[in-house]
Amino acid sequence: MHWARRQGQKHNQYAKNEHNLSAIEYDRFKYMNMTYTAKFGFPFLCVVAGLSSHDILRISEHRIANLFKTEFFIAISQLEELTFLRMQKIFGDTELQQPSFFTITRDNCKY
């Protein structure tokens, strides 16, 4: 299960995909998102493809302990990957190679 933040909306509204969260899981995600945004000043960004809701929650709980500078660069790298995946989907070219503008990647990022 993953939740995707809908763009262009003022409030955090989430779209469910494939599985339902329990009320407790939903409340944990909501609390972590509010806490994360309050601490860093920007929303939690994470490439969630292939991750379970438990994986996403574990990642968010670990990343909230980061210093601002560390988390800023992780968020930028996640945004870069999300943008690339969306562009790849729009153009339908799965052979495109993702450029890496930042040194932090999903593989070497310590969640």
Surface-to-core class of residue 6, CB atoms within 10 Å of its CB (0-12 exposed, 13-18 middle, 19+ buried):
exposed
Report the half-sphere exposure of 24 (CA within 13 A, side-chain side): 1
With a threshold of 0.95, does the pTM exceed it?
no
| DSSP state at residue 21 | P
pLDDT at position 105 = 52
Q: How confident is the model at residue 5 (pLDDT cuts 50, 70, 90)?
A: very low
pLDDT at position 1 = 31
Q: How confident is the model at residue 14 (pLDDT cuts 50, 70, 90)?
A: very low
Query: Which pLDDT tens digit goes with each residue over 43-91?
Result: 999 998 888 888 999 999 999 999 999 999 899 989 988 888 888 888 8
Report whether pLDDT(16) > 60. no
The length of the chain is: 111
| DSSP state at residue 2 | E
List phi, psi (to 5°) of 17: -135, 120
Are the CB atoms for 49 and 82 separated by under 8 Å?
no
